[in-house]
Chain A
Amino acid sequence: MEDKNILNLKNLNVYYGDFRAVKDINLDIPKNKITAFIGPSGCGKSTVLRAINRMNDLVDGTKTEGEIIFQNRNIYNPEVDAVSLRKQIGMVFQKPNPFPKSISENITWGAKINSYKGNMEELVEESLKEAALWDEVKDKLNENALRLSGGQQQRLCIARAIAVKPEIILMDEPASALDPIATLKIEDLMKTLCMDFTIIIVTHNMQQASRISDYTAFMMTDDKRSGNLVEYGKTSELFIRPKNKQTEDYISGRFG
């Protein structure tokens, strides 16, 4: 691929106990692009996503094999600190989950714990503007974030992730709990965000993947229910001329 890669997944295997959830994933993720993971439920796409910022470490009994190369080193090396890794690879979750604090505190908390030295007010404004939320909340920055609507909460979560200034933002079905209008806003937002960040998104929604992503990875489960990568390529090519029969069946809606 002609784009510069930021992340390389090499023979990635993830186990939950004895169960191999993800099998031999090999994948390069290009910088400043949107890469989408699609596939039926339980195919391991969220598992792969959580492996990228070592969120899987938080689940007991999870074992990861293989390599994920980020900034020239394997993030599963013993000397890599998962905490500082997560500052560089942020995450937005399926269900909007702002902290039960004020809107501005939601933004500043991540900066505070990372001993951010700059002006907090500027950071709040900048992050909210980047997340296209500033105009809606600028008059109520001290209100509890849980009073916002679902779509606003999700954009706040994106703003919160941006405020830490990561390299990559992982999004785990960020719009699946939202209505179509809120979904559209999030999608527009992602397109502008990928100028500054690399975005990796997991989605159920194939139209969404085809609308916003530059690259698409299609995953499927094999006969042992382990997820493996079936096809990966430019979104424009994968959706129009899928090389694999399974991909073609899935995107044409024959199953899944």
Chain B
Amino acid sequence: MDIIRQRKNLISKIVFQMATIIGIVALLILMFSIFNEAFGYVIFVNEKSPHEIFNSEKNLGEATKEELISILEDNISKGLMRRFNFEQSFSERSAENILELVMTEVVNPKIVKAWSLTSSLFGKKKIIETLKNDYPKGNLEFRSWLSPNFLLSPQSSIPEKTGIITALTGSLMLLLIAIILAFPLGVGTAIYLEEYAKPNRLNNLIQLNIYNLAGIPSIIYGMLGLAVFVRFLEPITSGKIFSQTINSTANGRTILSAGLTLGILILPIIIINAQEAIRGVPKSLRFSSFGLGATQWQTIWHHILPYSMDRILTGSILAVSRALGETAPLILGGASTFVAQKPDSVFSKFTALPIQIYQWTARPQPEFRKVAAAAIIVLLVLLLTLNAGAILLRNHHSKKKKG
């Protein structure tokens, strides 16, 4: 009897261990495939080689400002020269700036082939062969698709020039609006439901609905956002009511609409988390406050909220990190797939990180998959930062509670 019992115990332990291991392996494969794409060798071909245009033994980077200007004059049209001069006169431009112009306008390197990290590490011979046979004029370079340039450039249709700044600002502004809407509203609702509402039929119905709302597919919220914020409240969400003369092409499909939609999406999650946090405040704390002649509001403000704030914040941060990854409501709410300019106000057209990633993976050029991988890393880093913040906050506060 005893042996069977112990064997069962052992088997269940192994089963649970296997479950954990499968989970971890799946995660590792995911991380591997992302990093595998984001780094690797590329072959790029210059439209004009630097040696061709710069008749010198020196490297192009060592050329003086005057030399660079003369290269530009030799290689591009007079009209273009005038335009550059008009934008900022050549005398005011720095040497680095002109070198950049030479690189983009004259040398114009184009990536013709890219490899993943694993084939770069283990198949270098093959890569060099390809370089010699197929691209005699090409140059080989190890490229990190995730680079400072990538983080700071706006979107472009050329994979090596495209960047994530539009999507990143879009996402951050969306989150900000969602938090401003959902946090006070959610915590307020939680306080009302936990502290003031009597358990009658109406309040039970409200409670039940909040639980249901938290489980509704996000695309439904997208429909809501489309109907209410984009269409019905268009004068407000497009900014027309504030007589702003911003781009009228957005037609309500603005950051504001999408941010509000995301706010509504995370509202039930914040409410439920905050309710649980408030419920976790010991009864004794409440009683001791009431026993001293405190009103309900004094008890809430001085004891219940400070005591539960860490858990409320942790729950809210987790809700926000869910909003960060949401795609479906944004697609319905009219996130643009190509926005070349950084959004400058809440009434701008916008795109967001998940949309951008989806859009890049759907492109035919294989290089865009590398770009998408780099963007995924940015998104993951953002998510992990949020979650780490939540954990730090929780530890900080639980230390305080224990005295």
Q: Do A and B assemble together?
A: yes
B-contacting residues of A (Cβ < 8 Å)?
53, 55, 58, 60, 83-88, 90-93, 95, 97-100, 109-110, 113-114, 144-147, 157, 160-161, 164
Is B294 among interface residues, defined by CB-CB distance under 8 A?
Answer: yes
Per a CB cutoff under 8 Å, which of A97, A99, A113, A146 touches B293? A113
Q: Which of B286, B287, B307 has the most CB of A within 10 A?
A: B287
Could you list 7 examples of A-B contacts with CB < 8 Å?
A: A55-B291, A86-B292, A93-B291, A99-B289, A144-B400, A144-B403, A147-B403
Q: Which B residues from 266 to 293 make CB contacts under 8 A with A?
A: 282, 284-293
Contact: B293 with A87, CB < 8 Å?
Answer: yes
B-chain residues with CB within 8 Å of residue A88 when the two chains form the complex: 293
Contact: A99 with B285, CB < 8 Å?
Answer: yes
Task: State the 6 A-B residue pairs at the shortest beta-carbon distance, nearest first.
Answer: A146-B403, A87-B293, A144-B403, A97-B284, A110-B292, A91-B291
Q: Which B residues from 362 to 403 make CB contacts under 8 A with A?
A: 400-403
**Distance from A90 Cβ to chain B, minimum over Cβ atoms (Å):** 6
Contact: A113 with B298, CB < 8 Å?
Answer: yes
Per a CB cutoff under 8 Å, which of B285, B291, B303 touches A86? B291
A-chain residues with CB within 8 Å of residue B302 when the two chains form the complex: 109, 113
Interface of B is mostly: helix
A89 to B282, CA, bound (A): 22
A145 to B400, CA, bound (A): 11
Is B247 among interface residues, defined by CB-CB distance under 8 A?
Answer: no
Per a CB cutoff under 8 Å, which of B199, B287, B291, B292 touches A60? B199
A-chain residues with CB within 8 Å of residue B322 when the two chains form the complex: none
A55 to B299, CA, bound (A): 14
B-chain residues with CB within 8 Å of residue A60 when the two chains form the complex: 198-199
Q: Return the chain A residue nearest B299 by Cβ.
A: A113
Number of interface residues of B (CB under 8 A): 23
B-chain residues with CB within 8 Å of residue A114 when the two chains form the complex: 292-293
Interface of A is mostly: helix
A-contacting residues of B (Cβ < 8 Å)?
198-199, 282, 284-295, 298, 302-303, 307, 400-403
A-chain residues with CB within 8 Å of residue B287 when the two chains form the complex: 55, 58, 91, 93, 97
**Distance from A43 Cβ to chain B, minimum over Cβ atoms (Å):** 21
**Distance from A107 Cβ to chain B, minimum over Cβ atoms (Å):** 10
Contact: B307 with A83, CB < 8 Å?
Answer: no
Given A58-B287, A113-B302, A83 contacting B199 (CB threshold 8 A): no
Contact: B291 with A161, CB < 8 Å?
Answer: yes
Contact: B285 with A83, CB < 8 Å?
Answer: no
Contact: A113 with B403, CB < 8 Å?
Answer: no
B-chain residues with CB within 8 Å of residue A90 when the two chains form the complex: 291-293
A157 to B401, CA, bound (A): 17
Q: Return the chain A residue nearest B291 by Cβ.
A: A91
Q: Return the chain B residue nearest A102 by Cβ.
A: B403
Q: Return the chain B residue nearest A146 by Cβ.
A: B403
Q: Return the chain B residue nearest A95 by Cβ.
A: B284
Q: Return the chain B residue nearest A170 by Cβ.
A: B291
A84 to B295, CA, bound (A): 9
Q: Return the chain B residue nearest A94 by Cβ.
A: B284
A58 to B289, CA, bound (A): 12
Contact: A97 with B403, CB < 8 Å?
Answer: no
Contact: A58 with B285, CB < 8 Å?
Answer: no
**Distance from A162 Cβ to chain B, minimum over Cβ atoms (Å):** 11
